[in-house]
Structure 1
Amino acid sequence: MYTRQNQKNLTSTQKRRFTAAVLELKRNGTYDRFVRTHDKYFVPDRDRGLRVGHMSPSFFPWHRRYLVEFEKELRALDPGVSIPYWDWTTDTSPVSSLWAEDFLGGTGRSSDRQVMTGPFAYARGDWTITVGITEARYLTRNLGRPQNPVTLPTPAELQWAIDDPTYDASPWDSTAGGFRNRLEGWAAPKSERWRNHNKVHQWIGGHMTGGTAPNDPVFWLHHAFVDLLWDRWQQRHPTSGYRPATAPLPGDAQRGRVIALDEPMPPWNISPREMLGHQGVYRYEV
């Protein structure tokens, strides 16, 4: 079993090993395969197809499996590497160590949002964007969106999600009640467009705002924290399980569009039940 650490506690050596493994996955083509997978399963609820990665109850178990598969590839290159997590309720500065030259690099320049610092800067020659709808071949960010500011989620916003004892509810989409939608971030007060997970994507901006968000390596640190928050919710509400436990009934508009507890999640043929815990695989250092 390995440990996922808070990124603020990483040593310079750990940062270097993590970024080196990510860069090697990019070089050998594995990284872009993961970007394509995320994009394929980014299905909005206005579409008629199966929603497995987003706007649906399987948001948490699907991403848990997705991160574990990515981590397997990292650890095959360097067994000492794991995905760190970024607590975006406490580490909120666009000039924090997360965005330093020796780790993920900083925000994009004002003219075209191109990231110019760190190991994933296009000018370094090792990080060319090949998957996505943008024509830019360079990584883009716009931390905090200064021209139309957005803030990172507060501890109170996060607590608002964790306090909800219901995992998810019909119609199991971006309008649903429950913890999943509150943390994924579609359920927000009318004065706001996003909360929690979604708000973080918007705060980072650039490539993090669409289905090809994993083009930005900060994606993995963001979702490792989301995964940890699912743990916290489970501990807070030990009698509240994954919903729906069974598939929607015939005639329900959501039948065939959402994943029930024991149904397989593509592309791995793994059910949400099999991903309800991660004990024996990894642990979080908090």
Structure 2
Amino acid sequence: MVYARRDVSTLTASERRRFVSALIEVKRRGEYDDFVRTHIQYFLPDGENGRRTAHMAPSFLPWHRKFLLDLEQALRRVDESVTVPYWDWTRDRAPTAVPWTEDLLGGTGRRTDRQVMTGPFAFRHGQWIIKEGITDAEYLMRDLGRSRDPIALPTAGDVEEALADPVYDTAPWNSTSVKGFRNKLEGWGPGQGAVSWRNHNLVHRWVGGHMVSGASVNDPVFWMHHAFVDLVWSRWQQRHRNTRYLPEKPPDPGGAQSGRVVARHERMPPWDVTPAELEDHSSVYRYA
């Protein structure tokens, strides 16, 4: 049966409790840290050798679609009523808005060490210990809005700029691609620092703490954020119905991107699945 992913702001108190409880149980079982390790392993930037699948590449969107599905299946093995809600950061923009509430994800970190002190994922509860992190700290860290040098979340206009591009991706198929929906949504822009962050990337920076590294999965907001990114991809597919994932074929042998980019019908590590097989999610889930 097709299930629905909903806006996190529409969840009832009971639905919030069920989602949080399922996450904590997946963590208790040891499965959650496997997701963290996988994301760290595939957090491969342009400058490193090897095939890029999760970031700075055309497969950014199908890779995270599959990653989300795997987490969602783990949650539903705990409680079949649970799905991953999405956080629309173009609308719920304040550090005190949903999902940063006491009964859901808690709020920002304290000023001294960015440790999250509120909500069910606070270290003091003993249910969310960081085992695969960017530091030796065992507590979850956040810095919502980047307090010392404030930045703002992307706007609906920023998302529309990506949605309006009718081409999925373009050469050189990495973070420097000027045109193409994928890179505009992933958010690699020209320049250095804050001026270069767009959409998906800017949200990671706005949340701060663990969300600014390959260990970003340690923050449960990762899934809500990527569910919204996936929703935007779904909207792009509906708007541009005659377009598909690119590249259709692997880059030419001997070129700079040879062996580094996953073509539409190639296997996408670490799974035995292709981007083409992940383009249509309508038989599994829909967005409400």
- If the length of structure 1 is used for normalisation, what is the TM-score? 0.98
Q: 2:186 aligns with which of 184, 187, 202?
A: 184
State the distance in 1 between where 2:133 and 2:141 align. 12
Secondary structure of 1:232's counterpart equals helix
State the distance in 2 between where 1:188 and 1:36 align. 30
State the distance in 2 between where 1:242 and 1:62 align. 12
Q: Report the counterpart of residue 122 of structure 1 in structure 2.
A: 123
- Kindly state the Cα deviation for residue 189 of structure 1 after the two structures are TM-superposed: 7.0
Q: Report the counterpart of residue 196 of structure 1 in structure 2.
A: 199
> Is 1:271 the counterpart of 2:274 in the alignment?
yes
Query: C-alpha offsets along residues 215-259 of structure 1, whole Å, 9 cap, x if unaligned?
Result: 000000000000000011111111221100000011111011010
Is 2:24–2:127's contact at 8 Å kept on the other side of the alignment? yes
Secondary structure of 1:97's counterpart equals coil
State the distance in 2 between where 1:188 and 1:19 align. 38
- Taking a change above 3 Å as real, the CA distance of residues 153 and 189 of structure 1, as seen in their structure-2 partners, is farther
Greater displacement, 80-89 / 131-140: 131-140
Q: Report the counterpart of residue 238 of structure 2 in structure 1.
A: 235
Q: Report the counterpart of residue 205 of structure 1 in structure 2.
A: 208
State the distance in 1 between where 2:39 and 2:230 align. 16
> Is 1:174 the counterpart of 2:175 in the alignment?
yes
> Is 1:85 the counterpart of 2:95 in the alignment?
no
Is 2:72–2:84's contact at 8 Å kept on the other side of the alignment? yes
Secondary structure of 1:71's counterpart equals helix
Q: Following superposition of structure 1 onto structure 2, how do residues 158-169 of structure 1 map, counting pairs within 5 Å?
A: 158-169=159-170
Q: Which amino acid aligns with 1:101?
A: E
State the distance in 2 between where 1:118 and 1:17 align. 14
- Kindly state the Cα deviation for residue 50 of structure 1 after the two structures are TM-superposed: 0.5
State the distance in 2 between where 1:119 and 1:188 align. 38
State the distance in 2 between where 1:163 and 1:140 align. 35
State the distance in 1 between where 2:251 and 2:133 align. 33
Is 1:182–1:188's contact at 8 Å kept on the other side of the alignment? no
State the distance in 1 between where 2:237 and 2:129 align. 39
Is 2:109–2:142's contact at 8 Å kept on the other side of the alignment? yes
State the distance in 1 between where 2:191 and 2:278 align. 30
Q: Which amino acid aligns with 2:189?
A: A
Equivalenced residue count is: 285
- If the length of structure 2 is used for normalisation, what is the TM-score? 0.97
> Is 1:96 the counterpart of 2:94 in the alignment?
no
Is 1:188–1:195's contact at 8 Å kept on the other side of the alignment? no
Could you say what the CA RMSD is over the residues aligned between the two structures, in angstroms?
A: 1.1
Is 2:7–2:86's contact at 8 Å kept on the other side of the alignment? yes
> Is 1:220 the counterpart of 2:223 in the alignment?
yes
Greater displacement, 38-47 / 181-190: 181-190
Q: Report the counterpart of residue 283 of structure 1 in structure 2.
A: 286
Gaps of 5+ in 2: none
> Is 1:35 the counterpart of 2:36 in the alignment?
yes
State the distance in 2 between where 1:257 and 1:189 align. 24
Runs of 4+ in 1 over 2 A off after TM superposition: 187-191
- Kindly state the Cα deviation for residue 132 of structure 1 after the two structures are TM-superposed: 2.3
Counting aligned pairs with the same residue, the percent is 55
State the distance in 2 between where 1:133 and 1:13 align. 33
Q: Report the counterpart of residue 139 of structure 1 in structure 2.
A: 140
Q: Which amino acid aligns with 2:116?
A: V
